[in-house]
Amino acid sequence: MPFLNPTTDSVDALLLYLLAFALRATVLLAGAWIATKLLRGASAATRHLVWTTAIAGVLALPLLSVVVPAWNVPLLSIEARVDAPREADVAVGAGLRQPEAVTAASQSAATAPTPTIRGSDPEVAQTGALSRRVFSQVTPRGGVAFGWLLLAALMLSRLAIANMRVTAWQRSSRPVEDGRWLTLARRLTREYGIERPVVLLENGQTDVPVTWGIVYPVILLPAAADEWDEEQRIAVLTHELAHVKRFDALSQLLAQLALALLWFHPLVWMAVRRMRLEREHACDDFVLVAGARASRYADDLLGLARRLTRPTVPAAAALAMARRSELEGRLLAILDPGMKRTAVRRARVGLLTLAVIALAAPLAAFTPAARVPPNLRATRPFPRCPRRTLRSAAI
């Protein structure tokens, strides 16, 4: 197990890679934070795009580091590993002839105590000895590498479990058969230019509408949705279709993957939170631009939050329309007539993508390397004499 020994190359390489990944992500996310501060007067869709491109750039850093040339910068100090010379080599270096060196080595091997093996099965004894050796060689560096990999695996397992729960909700739901809902959904998808097939489901276990799915999006409606009037139906369905049109399920997946890989990074947690808030603000703006009344839409959103008594589907795998922790800020933004609510144009998407690539490329070239202390650079293992030297010494 290489991560248990701090002098092994695999542990040093893993820690250097983790350090490089964290430093690159820090610079990229800090740039996104500064950009969103400068774009405070812009629309929520623009700020969400900034965070999304930054998260996508973080995930693209490992691929870019393989493509671009490396720029090695010594940052991490490690101990030099010195192999212990064999007794025969020490004897030859001291001026002894080969027969004397071999004799000294054989005598030392003969006088060495023979380890006793308990039990009749030698494989069992070797396994026990290996286990004692493994636990005796646990080091801080190996613990750091193992802890990072373990928690990253746990975060990915959490995401997988969330997706399985969403799949279970989808199987337990029933298709919407109300003609009014189906006609409205077809009209709005055609009006908003959504070409992917959108499935409408109904489930009595949820209190708010929920959306998930990238290629085949699904909108889950609560059982109380049949009691809504036409204006509320249009507003709610427009909000959920805004998630579909903006590919918010994809950006949510990218955010969760970045969170799993860099679970220890506070900027990643902040970026994921800001993405979630700006995403809901952007969908609210989409509803208001589509023609909904701000006062009526805010009242409908408040009513949904008040009826929210049961837990919704996991936030890691689905997008719920209302959450109480985000309600106050959303209501203030909805009722603010001075808010800018324009959508993001394709030209701005391309510009931000190029900006992230231009920043991520030199970051990917940055590679922290191991720095050996000066007092250990001159230390060299005792040179082993080649066979011809041993033969000449024996003549």
Given a cut of 90, whether residue 298 has pLDDT beyond it is yes
Least reliable range by pLDDT among 97-101, 154-158, 212-216, 233-237: 97-101
Unique residue bearing structure tokens 């746990």: 154
CA–CA distance, 163 with 170 (Å, rounded to integer): 11
Go through 326-336 and write b for each residue having 16 or more CB atoms within 10 A of its CB, e for each that does not.
bbeebbebbee
**Dihedral (CA of 264, 270, 271, 273) sign:** positive
373 against 224, higher pLDDT: 224
Half-sphere exposure of residue 60: CA atoms within 13 angstroms, side-chain side: 19
Residue in this structure with the two tokens 């004397």, named with its chain if needed: 100
**Structure letter (DSSP) for residue 320:** E
Edge-first strand order for the sheet with 174-175 is: 174-175, 199-203, 218-222, 210-212, 319-320
Domain ranges of the chain: 2-41+55-111+128-141+363-394, 152-343
pLDDT for the residue 330: 93
The answer to whether 25 and 58 have CB atoms below 8 angstroms apart is yes
377 vs 20 pLDDT, higher one? 20
Class of domain 152-343: alpha beta
Under the banding of pLDDT at 50, 70 and 90, the label for residue 192 is very high
More confident residue, 380 or 49: 49
Statement: residue 110 has pLDDT above 60: no
Give the span between the Cα atoms of 368 and 16, in whole angstroms.
Answer: 6
Cβ-based neighbours of 75, under 8 Å, separated by 6 or more: 16, 19, 368, 369, 371
pLDDT over 80 at 118, yes or no: no
pTM (predicted TM-score)? 0.75
Task: Report pLDDT for 34.
Answer: 95
How far are the Cα atoms of 31, 275, 312 from residue 283, in angstroms, in the given order?
25, 12, 19
Asked if pLDDT for residue 395 goes beyond 60, the answer is no
* Whether residue 1 has pLDDT greater than 50: no
Tell me what the mean pLDDT of segment 133-148 comes to.
Answer: 66
From the list 316, 313, 326, 222, the residue with the least C-alpha distance to 283 is: 326
